[in-house]
Amino acid sequence: MSDTIAAIATPMTPSAIGIIRLSGPGAIAAVDGVFTPAAGGAMVERPDRLLVYGLLRDEEGRTIDHCLATVSRAPHSYTGEDTAELQCHGSPAALILGLEALFAQGVRQAEAGEFTRRAFLAGKLDLTRTEAVADLIHAETADAVYQAAGQLGGAMAAVVEGVYHELAEVCAHFHAVLDYPDEDIHPFEIVELEGTLTRAARKLDQLEASYRRGRAVTQGIPCAVIGRPNVGKSTLFNALVGYERAIVTPIPGTTRDTVEERVNLGGILLRLIDTAGLREAEDTVERLGVQRSQEALKRAELAIVVLDRHMPVTPEDEEALALGMAARACIVVRNKADLPSLEETSVEEAVFSKLREKAPVVDLSALTGKGLELLEKAVASLFPDDSGLRPGAMLTNARQAEGARRSRQAVERGVQALAAGMPPDAVVADVEEAMSALGELTGRKVGEDVTALIFQRFCVGK
């Protein structure tokens, strides 16, 4: 990169501190053009990572702020380039004036994610760590923070690179024996290749298995709350969200559209969707609401089916249960536990006995909050952290999962080729394909279009 970029790296709201960040060959010179140290001299004379107090001035020399400045020289910086920061008071107006003063020094506005992109291109971060930066920015739960921090520390890269290097050693050994037959090189043994492929398959299975939990932690699980009218869906929705988000009345059909909120439940981020009651709608608007409820359920990975505990199971309840059980995961909530419940008939006992074999059944009162902790435990039980990988090593997005899946498939083809008695060169071709797929995870081999998509999630200044 030959140009120098700058951006305001803190939110544009009044705050205690506001930061302007620069990176590029002219970063330190640009800061010297707008910042005067109180003790005299220039920032180009200061050592790296030393905070210097002084005045930030505009192009005409007028004082904008009393602030701190620091520099870090290449290659010992976040981006691998010369970098600088101005730590100002958090006035959006002052920060904009400071940025405009830097533009007058020949600096340009940074694009979203450009600082981290430069770090990636300089080899400071691999692609898994790069994605972890975005995950950490957007983390909404404690588990998401720990996962992103571990991934940023290299936990996922260590797993991926471990498998990659083991497969690479197999390929290198094979080609060495093939290309230098007269050298005293240990013979290429099929048994060793089989052992390597088995270990790689086991580790890739762990990675693939981690995706469901990783996605739940970082991206959230689409979760539809369904049931017939007046069973307490909206009351439960409000109880989980923590405020009166959905309208609650005793009139059937009050909820006419889907209502969505994000909520942390059992350590899992749920993209919670309150739906219209499932029944034969009486008017056009309600029919549209029911239709949207059904569409939301199709998108959901988790369905929470709400029943009225003090009322007999109705055909509409049975329909809701059937729809919920068709989702990837389901929890049955028997609401209104604060009210006296009717004695279950033998038919209902049989229904719930079968349900408990397929999905958690939770008795609670959305109105009083009693039993909500049981729902939290049920959610957590459906998305366990049982991959066996250390924190930060879980796959967290579709790109990573797809690369791990293709690598695992290539390894499996290699195992099958060995079992079929295929020659080693055919097996090694599968091994090289597995390595190529793994290389896409860390960025050893990745297209510009993929890189561009990854940085779409970033904010300006990071």
Higher-confidence position of 250 and 169 = 169
Cβ-contact 371, 363 below 8 angstroms: yes
At 16-39, the pLDDT tens digits run: 999 999 999 999 999 999 999 999
Closest CA to 154 of 389, 384, 462: 389
Phi/psi at 263 (5° precision): -145, 140
Q: Which two three-digit tokens encode residue 345?
A: 């008939």
Closest CA to 276 of 312, 306, 302: 306
pLDDT score, position 64:
97
Closest CA to 88 of 99, 75, 76, 104: 99
pLDDT score, position 461:
82
- DSSP β-ladder status, 15-23 and 83-90: antiparallel
Segment 186-210 shows an average pLDDT of 84
Question: How sure is the predictor about 244, in pLDDT bands with cuts at 50, 70 and 90?
Answer: low
Q: Which two three-digit tokens encode residue 220?
A: 């959230």
Q: Which two three-digit tokens encode residue 378?
A: 């049920």
Residue percentage of the chain with pLDDT more than 90: 48
Residue 329 has pLDDT above 80, yes or no: yes
pLDDT score, position 248:
44
Residue 247 has pLDDT above 50, yes or no: no
Separation between Cα atoms, residue 203 and residue 388, nearest integer Å: 10
**Is residue 213 classed as helix, strand or coil in its secondary structure?**
helix
Question: How sure is the predictor about 253, in pLDDT bands with cuts at 50, 70 and 90?
Answer: very low
Residue 295 has pLDDT above 80, yes or no: no
At 177-193, the pLDDT tens digits run: 555 455 555 555 677 78
Instruction: Report the number of secondary-structure helices (H) and strands (E) in the chain.
Output: 15, 13
Higher-confidence position of 133 and 313 = 133
Cβ-contact 220, 262 below 8 angstroms: yes
**Is residue 204 classed as helix, strand or coil in its secondary structure?**
helix
Q: Is 211 exposed, middle or buried (0-12, 13-18, 19+ CB in 10 A)?
A: buried
Cβ-contact 1, 118 below 8 angstroms: yes
- With a CB cutoff of 8 Å and minimum separation 6, the contacts of 76 are 48
Residue 401 has pLDDT above 70, yes or no: yes
Segment 288-297 shows an average pLDDT of 61
Separation between Cα atoms, residue 191 and residue 327, nearest integer Å: 44
Peptide bond into 315 cis (omega under 30): no
- DSSP β-ladder status, 221-226 and 268-274: parallel
Cβ-contact 171, 188 below 8 angstroms: no
Cβ-contact 296, 233 below 8 angstroms: no
- With b meaning 16 or more CB within 10 Å and e meaning fewer, what string describes 303-314? bbbbbbbeeebe
Distances 269 to 13, 67, 131 between C-alpha atoms, Å:
27, 39, 19
pLDDT score, position 265:
86
Residue with the two structure tokens 């055909």: 315
pLDDT score, position 273:
82
Cβ-contact 393, 155 below 8 angstroms: yes
pLDDT score, position 246:
46
Residue 288 has pLDDT above 70, yes or no: no
Segment 141-147 shows an average pLDDT of 90
Which residues pair with residue 461 across a beta bridge?
A: none
* Least reliable range by pLDDT among 87-91, 144-148, 181-185, 245-249: 245-249
Q: Packing angle between helix 190-218 and helix 155-179, nearest 10 degrees?
A: 160
Q: What is the DSSP letter of 344?
A: P
Cβ-contact 50, 31 below 8 angstroms: no
Segment 278-288 shows an average pLDDT of 51
Residue 71 has pLDDT above 60, yes or no: yes
Separation between Cα atoms, residue 386 and residue 404, nearest integer Å: 18
Separation between Cα atoms, residue 276 and residue 258, nearest integer Å: 7
**What count of other Cβ atoms lies within 10 Å of the Cβ of residue 230?**
19
pLDDT score, position 7:
97
Higher-confidence position of 431 and 349 = 431
Which residues pair with residue 363 across a beta bridge?
A: 334
* Least reliable range by pLDDT among 64-68, 134-138, 246-250, 390-394: 246-250
pLDDT score, position 312:
83
pLDDT score, position 462:
81
Question: How sure is the predictor about 350, in pLDDT bands with cuts at 50, 70 and 90?
Answer: low
Separation between Cα atoms, residue 50 and residue 275, nearest integer Å: 56
Q: What is the mean pLDDT of the chain?
A: 85
